[in-house]
Amino acid sequence: MEFQELHLLPEVLEGIRRVGFSQCTEIQEKTLPITLAGKDVAGQAQTGTGKTAAFLIAIFSRLLTLPAHPPGKYPSPRALIIAPTRELAVQIFKDAQALGSTTPFKMVVVYGGLDYQKQKAQLESSPDILIGTPGRLIDYLKQKVYDFRRLQILVIDEADRMFDMGFIADLRYLLRRMPPYHKRQSMLFSATLTFRVMELAYEHMNNPTRIEVSPKQITAEGIEETLYHVERSQKFPLLLGILKREPWERVLIFVNTKRQGEILEERLIRHGYNARAITGDIPQKQRLRILEQFKSKSLPILVATDVASRGLHIEDVSHVINYDLSQDPKDYVHRIGRTARAGATGKAISLACEEYVFSLEEIEALIGHKIPVSWAEDEMFIRPLPHKPAAQKHKDKRYPHREHLRHGPTPRKH
């Protein structure tokens, strides 16, 4: 289906044209006829299926036709989008700015880690569309910076992640302070519509239509998967060998813990690679700067925990390396989905050590196939540089020399 067939308003169609969309994805084709009619939906869709555009197009279209409620004592958004992570909230905001560039709506994003007063001032300017994470939304609500008096549309994105990250109590706090579900339109999107997610939907939504988009295959086409069985102590030597031999351009390396991310960043830098890690304790401005550097290709290697594996649209990632095999099978799918986007090809390499190999069976059960196993020959293992003495590590003070790093060994071209 083409967007033209949906009889969208000219302002919305022009925004769609400017971002280069013409054909609806499956989730858009199934949800938009319902949401454009003002009805509630609970949609199951993975990242990369076009769900963000699906709810943004619905929001813009509905707000252009619905009469706004009169202003009250406090600023109040007409539409609210709740996301579980800061990265996803920022990505939705950027998508909304691009897709809604031809609409008159003012949009604001709020999340922890950035200037509290600056975001407060933006909220006080009465945005039409508010995007945020649960914690920061609650903070400003308690401070009476805004309220939900004029709220007409609610979107809950990645609802299953809200449960996984322990945000469900915060989400319910917000929902209880909104207009009743029959006085607003609600949309919920989730990678999986579990019993918990649907229970939330039926409790706080107005008879939502359940929409499921079952991909033909769990993992995206164009991804070449490879698995190495390797001892934990030999993972870094093997990683060095992979980086030397693979014709990589941009690499996203996943680890399971913040500490492992910090260690891997430090070791890669010491071996001449321009690499950065995004972990939970990095200030938000620095985190966003690192992501922008990676997206702009000035940073060729990004080390990340699963906080960065969902909701981020990063094009042209040639390789995803699971340095730590994911413990949750769904995270494996989300991780490797960062490569081979938009019809491109990519490679996903997983290192299965004795600590995390137990999750392999569940991963393969979910994706419906065995991950091809490769045997690492002796020459694949590169002996790492000796560890620095503790005094020298202390002297580095979080690697102040990193700005002078090269991009690492010149990758071979395809």
Q: How confident is the model at residue 391 (pLDDT cuts 50, 70, 90)?
A: very low
For 213-236, the pLDDT digits (tens) are 865 555 666 789 999 999 999 999
Which pLDDT belongs to residue 406? 40
For 258-277, the pLDDT digits (tens) are 899 999 999 999 999 999 99
**Residue 358 pLDDT greater than 50, yes or no:** yes
**What residues pair up with 109 in beta bridges, in sequence order?**
131
**Residue 393 pLDDT greater than 50, yes or no:** no
**Residue 203 pLDDT greater than 60, yes or no:** yes
**Residue 337 pLDDT greater than 90, yes or no:** no
- C-alpha–C-alpha distance, residues 191 and 271, integer Å: 38
Backbone angles phi, psi at 109, to 5 degrees: -120, 135
Which pLDDT belongs to residue 401? 42
- C-alpha–C-alpha distance, residues 147 and 74, integer Å: 6
Q: Is 76 exposed, middle or buried (0-12, 13-18, 19+ CB in 10 A)?
A: buried
79-82 and 346-352 strand pairing: unpaired
Mean residue pLDDT of the chain comes to 87
**Residue 40 pLDDT greater than 90, yes or no:** yes
Of the chain, the percentage scoring pLDDT greater than 70 comes to 88
Q: E strands, 305-409, where?
A: 319-322, 346-352
**What residues pair up with 190 in beta bridges, in sequence order?**
44
Of the chain, the percentage scoring pLDDT greater than 90 comes to 62
Query: Which of 41-50, 290-299, 321-330, 401-410 shows the lowest mean pLDDT across its residues?
Result: 401-410
Which pLDDT belongs to residue 218? 57
* DSSP assignments along 180-229, one per residue: PGGGSEEEEEESS--HHHHHHHHHHSSSPEEEE---SSSSPTTEEEEEEE
Which pLDDT belongs to residue 281? 73
Which pLDDT belongs to residue 388? 65
CB 84 within 8 A of CB 158: yes
Separation of CA 50 from chain center: 13
Q: Indicate the pTM of the whole model.
A: 0.65
Comparing 311 with 353, which gets the higher pLDDT?
A: 353
Which domains are assigned to the chain? 3-212 (3.40.50.300), 223-403 (3.40.50.300)
**Residue 20 pLDDT greater than 80, yes or no:** yes
Which pLDDT belongs to residue 253? 96
* DSSP assignments along 279-327, one per residue: -TTS-HHHHHHHHHHHHTTSS-EEEE-GGGSSS-------EEEESS--S
**Closest to 371 in 3D by CA, of 384, 362, 379, 380:** 362
* DSSP assignments along 305-318, one per residue: -GGGSSS-------
**Residue 311 pLDDT greater than 70, yes or no:** no
- C-alpha–C-alpha distance, residues 143 and 119, integer Å: 13
